[in-house]
């Protein structure tokens, strides 16, 4: 095969589902690995479902995860226009070519007539009505009507669609890069509509014509399109392109976390995880969703996670840069069965990226979250904070959620350890510890640790009696980084204030027991 020309062809009908991003990722990896082209094509032939802003959203989402198209609307390229709504004249030409070659026909059936045909089929015990060879002679089309009547209907501008004339008793086979040889009987296929009454093509005609004219030679798409592929093969043959069809690769479904059923756009809101790269604000709250970016994911981690939804390198390695994926990826290692969407695994990937990130880079990512809470700290402070917290969080918002006490007073004390460890009669000794910490000149973690250890030894209380009180007093929780590092970053005055407040609170908690 020549250098791959692959296309990602979403419809601008709303938020870009994560399954679409995975398709775009695999397209991108193949194109970059083999020096090909990654093409973005906007399939907006269904104007009734068109959503303003969706095309810009698609581009923004792709760029956020680093998958910048080589060609497409706004990116340039020699095979445009790349919006199907701007290619209407092209599709009309090819629709007429199908008619002229006898591979398609005009169908004048009204919606009412089609409904009546379906009901009659149902009454006869056939609940899966197909408009095709078995019944096309009974319908109102150019294969069943006299030629003169057809010409008169056309002259009168009677609404019509163009349907593909599917042959009978043929086996339609193609070699799928993932699924192997796939075969369909033509008798199972319906005469699909190629051109609608409004003059716009259906997906089937438009995508075949565009793939041909844009020189697409590898079609990577979701498993749901597998059953449409025999119609596409017939179209290639009808146009005389049968020997030059693109290679097909149908990706396994992305399944719900339970492993049962396809992951839907609404599953994110239902289960509390993102299924879109970016937030999408629809017309109603029910149509509005948060994306991976809003949840606090690093886009590189999202790419890494998506790559493994169906693909495996065959090694133990799990962490890949985008370039690493380009080097390692192959369609031969994409599985045939569905891939379960595991949000916990997605968070694990993100955690690995946070841990590996430079503290300076993390500080810039975290700053907007902290400033939104009303705090404006120095870069040095935020870098130290990120260094202490990054192994304890999985998503960016957790820097604040789990480490807010670095920026403001403790909101709530973890009660159980205090009720167990705090002895009011020992308060005088803890006041001595507080004064010892306040007297430290070199207020660094090592010095603070030395002072606390000396107090533990002199007071004969033991670390188990002292450290929980100190930790909860300053941070409110037993969880978190080294207490000495916390105290050093919180600062001397704030630590002293917090301990004084905490000791009073601990007395009250103990008295209430």
Task: For residue 208, give the nearest of 291, 95, 309, 124 by alpha carbon.
Answer: 95
Who's near 132: CB < 8 A, 6+ residues apart? 166, 189, 190, 191
Range 459-475 average pLDDT: 96
What tokens were used for 411?
A: 């909101």
Who's near 463: CB < 8 A, 6+ residues apart? 456
* Cα 450–Cα 506–Cα 476 angle in degrees, nearest 5: 65
Who's near 228: CB < 8 A, 6+ residues apart? 203, 204
Is the residue at 248 inside a domain? no
Among 176, 207, 238, give the residue marking a domain's end: 207
Q: Label residue 167 by pLDDT band (50, 70, 90).
A: very high
Cα 141 to chain center, whole Å? 44
Residue 345, pLDDT > 80, answer yes
Q: Label residue 1 by pLDDT band (50, 70, 90).
A: low
CA torsion sign, 131 to 133 to 137 to 138?
negative
Question: CATH number for the domain including 177?
Answer: 3.90.800.10
How high is the pLDDT of residue 443?
Answer: 97
Is the residue at 230 inside a domain? no
Q: Which domain holds residue 109?
A: 88-207
Is the residue at 41 inside a domain? no
Higher per-residue pLDDT: 260 or 37: 37
Question: What digits encode the pLDDT tens for the residues 223-254?
Answer: 999 999 999 999 999 999 999 999 999 999 99
What tokens were used for 238?
A: 């009808």
Residue 484, pLDDT > 90, answer yes
Is the residue at 80 inside a domain? no
Range 71-94 average pLDDT: 96
How high is the pLDDT of residue 282?
Answer: 79
Using alpha carbons, list the distances in angstroms from residue 489 to 84, 103, 369, 407: 57, 76, 19, 10
Domain count, the chain: 2
Selecting among 88, 92, 265, 345, the annotated active-site residue is 265
How high is the pLDDT of residue 266?
Answer: 84
Is the residue at 440 inside a domain? yes
Question: What digits encode the pLDDT tens for the residues 425-436?
Answer: 999 999 999 999
Question: CATH number for the domain including 481?
Answer: 1.10.10.350
Using alpha carbons, list the distances in angstroms from residue 406 to 131, 401, 464, 496: 68, 11, 23, 14
Q: Label residue 127 by pLDDT band (50, 70, 90).
A: confident
How high is the pLDDT of residue 216?
Answer: 98
- The mean predicted confidence, pLDDT, of the chain is 95
Using alpha carbons, list the distances in angstroms from residue 195 to 191, 200, 432: 12, 6, 86
Strands 161-164 and 339-340: unpaired
Q: Label residue 118 by pLDDT band (50, 70, 90).
A: very high
Cα(96)–Cα(235) distance, integer angstroms: 13
Residue 286, pLDDT > 80, answer no
Residue 473, pLDDT > 70, answer yes
For 178, half-sphere exposure in the C-beta direction (CA atoms, 13 angstrom radius) is 24
Among 145, 174, 207, give the residue marking a domain's end: 207
Is the residue at 502 inside a domain? yes
Range 305-324 average pLDDT: 97
Residue 86, pLDDT > 80, answer yes
Range 464-493 average pLDDT: 97
Residue 513, pLDDT > 80, answer no
Q: Tell me the range of 46-60, 124-138, 172-186 where mean pLDDT is highest.
A: 172-186
Residue 283, pLDDT > 80, answer no
Residue 485, pLDDT > 70, answer yes
122 is catalytic: no
Who's near 152: CB < 8 A, 6+ residues apart? none
Task: For residue 239, give the nearest of 214, 202, 208 by alpha carbon.
Answer: 208
Question: What digits encode the pLDDT tens for the residues 405-460?
Answer: 999 999 999 999 999 999 999 999 999 999 999 999 999 999 999 999 999 999 99
Among 157, 176, 207, give the residue marking a domain's end: 207
Who's near 112: CB < 8 A, 6+ residues apart? none
Who's near 63: CB < 8 A, 6+ residues apart? none
Helix ranges (H only) for 222-329 are 229-238, 267-271, 292-295, 299-307, 322-328
Cα(216)–Cα(214) distance, integer angstroms: 6
Is the residue at 474 inside a domain? yes
Cα(386)–Cα(364) distance, integer angstroms: 10
Residue 255, pLDDT > 80, answer yes
Question: What digits encode the pLDDT tens for the residues 17-64?
Answer: 999 999 999 999 999 999 999 999 999 988 888 889 999 999 999 999
- How long is the chain? 513
Is the residue at 444 inside a domain? yes
Residue 259, pLDDT > 80, answer yes
């Amino acid at each position: 095969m020549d250098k791959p020309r692959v296309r990602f062809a979403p419809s601008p009908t709303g938020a870009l589902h994560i399954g679409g991003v995975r398709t775009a990722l695999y397209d991108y990896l193949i194109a970059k690995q083999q020096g090909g082209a990654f093409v973005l094509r906007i399939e907006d032939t269904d104007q009734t479902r068109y959503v303003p802003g969706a095309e810009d959203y698609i581009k923004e989402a792709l760029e956020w995860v680093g998958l910048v198209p080589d060609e497409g609307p706004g990116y340039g390229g020699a095979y445009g226009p790349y919006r199907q709504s701007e290619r209407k004249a092209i599709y009309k030409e090819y629709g007429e070519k199908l008619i002229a070659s006898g591979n398609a026909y005009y169908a004048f059936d009204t919606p009412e007539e089609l409904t009546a045909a379906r009901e009659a089929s149902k009454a006869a015990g056939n609940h899966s009505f197909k408009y095709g060879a078995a019944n096309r002679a009974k319908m109102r089309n150019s294969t069943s009507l006299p030629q003169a009547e057809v010409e008169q209907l056309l002259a009168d501008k009677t609404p019509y669609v163009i349907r593909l004339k599917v042959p009978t008793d043929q086996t339609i086979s193609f070699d799928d890069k993932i699924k192997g040889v796939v075969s369909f009987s033509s008798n199972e296929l319906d005469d699909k509509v190629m051109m609608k009454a409004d003059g716009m093509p259906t997906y089937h005609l438009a995508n075949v014509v565009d793939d041909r004219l844009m020189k697409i030679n590898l079609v990577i798409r979701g498993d749901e399109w597998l059953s449409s592929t025999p119609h596409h093969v017939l179209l290639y043959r009808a146009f005389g392109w049968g020997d030059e069809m693109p290679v097909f690769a149908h990706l396994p479904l992305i399944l719900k976390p339970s492993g049962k059923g396809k992951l839907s756009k609404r599953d994110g809101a239902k289960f509390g995880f993102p299924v879109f790269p970016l937030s999408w604000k629809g017309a109603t709250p029910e149509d509005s969703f948060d994306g991976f970016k809003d949840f606090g994911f690093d886009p590189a981690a999202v790419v890494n996670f998506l790559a493994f939804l169906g693909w495996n390198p065959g090694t133990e390695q799990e962490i890949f840069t985008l370039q690493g994926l380009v080097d390692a990826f192959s369609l031969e290692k994409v599985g045939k069965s569905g891939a379960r969407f595991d949000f916990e695994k997605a968070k694990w990937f993100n955690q690995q990226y946070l841990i590996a990130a430079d503290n300076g880079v993390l500080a810039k990512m975290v700053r907007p979250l902290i400033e939104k809470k009303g705090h404006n700290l120095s870069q040095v402070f935020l870098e130290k904070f990120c260094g202490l917290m990054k192994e304890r969080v999985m998503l960016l918002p957790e820097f604040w959620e789990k480490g807010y006490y670095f920026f403001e007073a403790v909101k709530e004390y973890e009660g159980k350890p205090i009720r167990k460890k705090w002895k009011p009669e020992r308060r005088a000794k803890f006041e001595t510890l507080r004064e010892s910490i306040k007297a430290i000149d070199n207020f660094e973690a090592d010095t603070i640790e030395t002072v606390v250890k000396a107090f533990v030894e002199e007071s004969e209380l033991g670390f188990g009696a002292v450290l929980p009180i100190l930790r909860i007093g300053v941070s409110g929780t037993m969880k978190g980084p080294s207490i000495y590092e916390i105290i050093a970053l919180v600062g001397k005055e704030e630590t002293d204030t917090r301990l004084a407040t905490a000791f009073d609170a601990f007395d009250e908690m103990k008295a209430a027991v």
